[in-house]
């Protein structure tokens, strides 16, 4: 009897490594699998969630996404969870992640409802489409594309971003807690915006639906209104 039990136990234990090996083989080693931690906040396929803060990363220019991952790793951006996730990752791996999410194009949801006074939205539209010469502010479309869908390789789209996220990033640039490669053009522009203007342009942008073709423009049709280190960084230009 004892001999039978021992044989059964030995047989059972011999199955454990085989079962573990089969389970390991069943889990594909893909970038989609590796980036599941990202989608916990940024939503399935990086399409964003409805909580009003985490941004859509799907379809953004790869150069932009790569720059942001590097900025978190190098301390120019300071969101603790992001810093923890990328702190020990190599440039090559960050570039792979950026290219993966850049290649995803899930549909955009409808803009979330927002109650804002007509005058506030009118001011936001003016800043986005015309700028303000008095404040030496170029329009958002001058850098982010006529349809606000971004410009390759490094300028992000502003469509599909929630108001809280947009407002938070303007505020971070304005108070010096978010930085980019120098010259930091967004920090310069945010410093010229009042709190009311930040609220207005964030509200108007968050209400804009995605166009029929929401992909970033292939290249800027004209020179940017000011020099931006992030764009130079993506182009491999050394300062």
Tell me: pLDDT of 13 over 90.
no
Q: How confident is the model at residue 74 (pLDDT cuts 50, 70, 90)?
A: very high
Q: Hunting for tokens 């709190």 — which residue is that?
A: 195
Tell me: pLDDT of 226 over 80.
yes
- Nearest-5° angle of CA 235, CA 36, CA 75? 45
CA–CA separation, 152 and 141 (whole Å): 14
Structure tokens at 21: 């090996």
Peptide bond into 153 cis (omega under 30): yes
Element holding 122 (H helix, E strand): helix 118-129
Q: The CATH number of 31-234 is which of 2.40.340.10, 1.10.287.890, 3.40.640.10, 1.10.760.10?
A: 1.10.760.10
Lowest mean pLDDT among 31-35, 98-102, 124-128, 195-199: 31-35
Residues contacting residue 184 through CB under 8 Å, at least 6 positions apart: 173, 228, 229
Q: What is the mean pLDDT of the chain?
A: 88
C-alpha torsion sign, points 216, 146, 230, 42: negative
Please compute the mean of the pLDDT values over residues 154-171 and round it to a whole number.
94
Q: Is 151 left (phi over 0), alpha (psi -120 to 50) or beta?
A: beta
Please compute the mean of the pLDDT values over residues 211-229 and round it to a whole number.
87
Q: How far is CA 52 from CA 114, 153, 181, 187, in A?
A: 11, 26, 27, 23
Task: Tell me what percent of the chain is helix, strand and coil, each rounded to the nearest 5.
Answer: 55, 0, 45
Please compute the mean of the pLDDT values over residues 136-158 and round it to a whole number.
95
C-alpha torsion sign, points 212, 216, 222, 228: positive
Phi, psi of 20 (to 5 degrees): -65, -40
pTM (2 decimals)? 0.84
CA–CA separation, 165 and 71 (whole Å): 17
Q: Give tens-digit pLDDT for 119-128.
A: 999 999 999 9
Q: Hunting for tokens 């804002």 — which residue is that?
A: 116
Tell me: pLDDT of 238 over 60.
no
Residue 163 pLDDT: 94
Q: Give tens-digit pLDDT for 33-60.
A: 999 999 989 999 999 876 778 899 999 9
């Amino acid at each position: 009897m004892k001999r039978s039990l021992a044989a059964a136990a030995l047989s059972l234990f011999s199955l454990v490594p085989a079962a573990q090996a089969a389970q390991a083989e069943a889990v594909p080693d893909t970038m989609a699998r590796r980036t599941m931690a990202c989608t916990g906040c940024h939503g399935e396929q990086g399409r964003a969630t409805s909580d009003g803060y985490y941004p859509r990363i799907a379809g953004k220019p790869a150069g932009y996404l790569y720059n942001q991952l590097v900025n978190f790793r190098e301390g120019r951006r300071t969101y603790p969870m992001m810093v923890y996730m990328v702190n020990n990752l190599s440039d090559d791996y960050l570039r792979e992640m950026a290219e993966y999410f850049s290649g995803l194009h899930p549909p955009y949801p409808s803009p979330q409802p927002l109650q804002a006074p007509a005058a506030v939205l009118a001011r936001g539209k003016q800043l986005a489409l015309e700028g303000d010469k008095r404040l030496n502010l170029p329009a958002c479309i001058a850098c982010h594309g006529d349809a606000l869908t971004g410009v390759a390789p490094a300028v992000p789209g502003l469509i599909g971003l929630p108001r809280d996220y947009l407002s938070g990033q303007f505020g971070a640039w304005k108070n010096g807690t978010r930085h980019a490669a120098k010259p930091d053009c967004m920090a310069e522009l945010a410093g010229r915006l009042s709190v009311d203007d930040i609220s207005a342009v964030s509200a108007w942008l968050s209400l804009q639906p995605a166009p029929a073709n929401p992909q970033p423009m292939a290249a800027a049709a004209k020179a940017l209104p000011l020099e931006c280190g992030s764009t130079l960084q993506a182009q491999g230009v050394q300062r």
